[in-house]
Structure 1
Amino acid sequence: MERPVALVADEGLVDEVLHAAAVAGCEVERVVDVAALRGPWHGAPAVVLDEAAVVACEAEGFPRRAAVFVVGAGPPDPATWRRALALGAEQVLELPADHERLRAVLADAAEGGPAGDGRVLAVLGARGGAGASVLAVAVGQAVLAAGGHALLVDCDPLGGGLDLTLGAERQEGLRWPTLQLTGGRVPVAALRSALPGRTGGRGGLTVLSCGRSGPDPEPDAVVAVVESGRRAGGTVVCDLPRRLTPAACAALDRADLAVLVVPADVKACMAAKPLVDQAEARGVRLRAVIRGPAPGGLTASQVVDAVGVPLLTAMRSEPRLATTLDEGRFPSRARGPLARAAREVLAALHAR
């Protein structure tokens, strides 16, 4: 990927720009004059100019382009601002006061621009052992198999760790207790490099897991991670606990689709009702994934009638699922019932 380019002469401003870039996880290419700027002018994801550079670019007849940002120690004079507009400048940033705004600009550039077209899925289980975590990982695997990027976000600190479900518990990388993120903006590139996961072809699967013990993730931190994945255009899959904690609500409120995994038995149907009511009180309409087997013969239509949510899909039990997970592996059958259900959930997510 091309790097943002900066033509800034004042060393104090240069330090501010480089510091903002370092915080954003972004490298900036410095050039010394407009002749050196002409080459990357069209291809760089962002251009940072000082006032003198704005004047020089206009004098050299540089064409308009998007993502031009002007930095200075104070407000520019009106003539400089008119020249900046002619070049396509989007913002004039006074440093150091506008440091956070500059960091956000460079973070977008590091992520290939503020795509903002990612999708967020929330997965909940009607009761303990319903299989929500397994479905969440299966959706992430489906994204990876299709060549996309998925970010699994574990919001259940009592679930034993989503990395364990994925089979990545021995991989190096940060988990929620060691991430030390409280909010703000985090580049997705930084998450992908710091967290465990796997790659395949052009795609990637990253997991931010809870530890084996520890407190809930902070809601602001969940928001920062979810929005990072969304901005980068990937698929964010949030595994939520049955108890809607503040962190779980932060993810649920941002979901484009929320699914409830309901085993086909009476106890699961009864356990699902309070969770459905809590979600609907927040304006979230769940859709059901009915999981077999049905020991008492309940049909999918009977389950969704009892729970009061529309059916997304029904799936048979995955052969040897418990054994495979206990062996530290995740089911890899592309034609199995779990993989098929994951693809149907993913299709529903991207149809919204």
Structure 2
Amino acid sequence: MAEDRPLIVAHDEVVLDEVLRLAAAVGCVPERLPDLSAARARWMHAPLVILDEEVARAGIPLPRRRGVLLVCKGSPSPPTWELAFSTGVDRVVSLPDEESELIAALADVAEGPGAPGGRVVAVVGGCGGAGASVLAAGIGLTVSREGGSALLVDCDPLGGGIDLLFGAELDAGLRWPELKVNSGRVSMAALHEALPERRHGDGRLSLVSCDRDGPGPSGDAVAAVIEAGRRAGRTVVCDVPRYLAGGAAVAVDRADLVVLVVPAELRACVAAKRVLQRIDARSRRTLVLARWPVGGLTPNDVAGHVGLPLLASMPPERGLQRDLERGVFLPRPKGPLATAAGAVLAAAHAGPAREPA
């Protein structure tokens, strides 16, 4: 609807082109008007109004309102601040230095109020080969099988790419090295367009995967992607390596629930306690998921050794490893992996959610 679109009134072509570019990046479709007289009919109803200095100086009297931005090129000069004061704008935004502020304002309009239900789960292996990536993928798949939308975020640049689990390494779409998220804000609609995905009926699973080479995601990029999913009401599942740096640390910081996956053997429990020392200072809520039978320990033994409440246990799933080697990831809907994934999702939604950033 036209009433939901922001207004842009700008005569400076450089400013106009930049605002339109940033709006397109977050999936926002503004309405461009030639002058303030033309804007009069929608002035009080538009969710956001963006002016440039030339338009603001025209001095056409309009009622004062919230949500008016004055965009200027470079640092604001004293006359710019005087103009902002006299016209009653909320904020002065200088380009390109304050590009992120303008993106955030446009994204708020494009996405509207944050959707309910967004949860962030970080899955971490207590030792090498614990199966954290498989569990993370299983959680995302379970959400989509149940008709929901999930976002699977690969935070391990040395893991080979979580798209390999789905046999999706040749699918079209961006991976972390090509996914440029430098502004601190991105829309879920833009991510859906850019990323490879898997569909199951009405459900969808979008993959933000590392690649076979190139750098891993920065902390700012992971934060932007996580919060885009949370604001859109998605279940965001992060595959997090044991070394918490950069994007991995941010994923743990922002998670509603951290799941530590630990095989039921003594050495794995000892290693998991070391990993937990790094997680503890960052996580608001951490539970252990025991994989068994591996050694001589029970799931309760694992929880006791690690010092965390037991979320669930997961026995082996027949044929799963063979399928993974063939690039097929379709665990049985009622098998051990799906059951464990369901327990994780129930625990994530049982606790209080973080507010969208």
* Normalised-by-shorter TM-score class: 0.7 to 0.9
* CA distance in 2: counterparts of 1:131 and 1:343, whole angstroms: 16
> Measured at CA, do residues 274 and 70 of structure 1 come closer, stay the same or move farther in structure 2, by a change above 3 Å?
closer
Matches within 5 A, 1:100-115: 100-115=100-115
* CA distance in 1: counterparts of 2:99 and 2:216, whole angstroms: 30
Residue 227 of structure 1 and its aligned partner are, at CA, apart by: 2.4
If the length of structure 2 is used for normalisation, what is the TM-score? Answer: 0.80
Residue 284 of structure 1 and its aligned partner are, at CA, apart by: 5.0
Deviations 1:260-300 (A, max 9, x none): 1112222322221211122124455520111222442x221
* CA distance in 2: counterparts of 1:272 and 1:113, whole angstroms: 39
Give percent identity, aligned residues only: 48
The worse-fitting range, judged by mean Cα deviation, of 118-127 and 173-182 is 173-182
> Measured at CA, do residues 137 and 283 of structure 1 come closer, stay the same or move farther in structure 2, by a change above 3 Å?
closer
Contact kept? 1:272, 1:307, Cα under 8 Å:
yes
1:5 aligns with 2:6: yes
Partner of 2:224: 224
Q: AA paired with 2:172? A: E
* CA distance in 2: counterparts of 1:105 and 1:293, whole angstroms: 52
Partner of 1:87: none
Residue 7 of structure 1 and its aligned partner are, at CA, apart by: 5.2
> Measured at CA, do residues 7 and 284 of structure 1 come closer, stay the same or move farther in structure 2, by a change above 3 Å?
closer
Structure 2: 5+ residue stretches without partners = 73-79, 352-357
If the length of structure 1 is used for normalisation, what is the TM-score? Answer: 0.82
Q: Which of 7, 18, 29 is matched with 1:27 structurally?
A: 29
Residue 335 of structure 1 and its aligned partner are, at CA, apart by: 1.2
Matches within 5 A, 1:281-300: 281-282=281-282, 284-296=284-296, 298-300=297-299
Matches within 5 A, 1:1-352: 4-6=5-7, 8=9, 10-12=11-13, 14-31=16-33, 46-48=47-49, 50=51, 55-56=61-62, 58=63, 68-71=67-70, 74-75=80-81, 76=83, 80-81=87-88, 91-94=90-93, 96=95, 99-115=99-115, 118-182=118-182, 184-282=184-282, 284-296=284-296, 298-352=297-351
Residue 154 of structure 1 and its aligned partner are, at CA, apart by: 0.9
Contact kept? 1:130, 1:262, Cα under 8 Å:
yes
Residue 193 of structure 1 and its aligned partner are, at CA, apart by: 1.4
Q: AA paired with 2:264? A: A
Q: AA paired with 2:31? A: E
* CA distance in 2: counterparts of 1:270 and 1:235, whole angstroms: 31
Contact kept? 1:8, 1:53, Cα under 8 Å:
no
Residue 139 of structure 1 and its aligned partner are, at CA, apart by: 0.9
Deviations 1:173-206 (A, max 9, x none): 1212232445632222222211111234443211
> Measured at CA, do residues 36 and 280 of structure 1 come closer, stay the same or move farther in structure 2, by a change above 3 Å?
closer
Deviations 1:205-228 (A, max 9, x none): 111111223443322222222222
Contact kept? 2:151, 2:206, Cα under 8 Å:
yes
* CA distance in 1: counterparts of 2:129 and 2:67, whole angstroms: 52
Contact kept? 2:100, 2:185, Cα under 8 Å:
no
> Measured at CA, do residues 21 and 268 of structure 1 come closer, stay the same or move farther in structure 2, by a change above 3 Å?
same
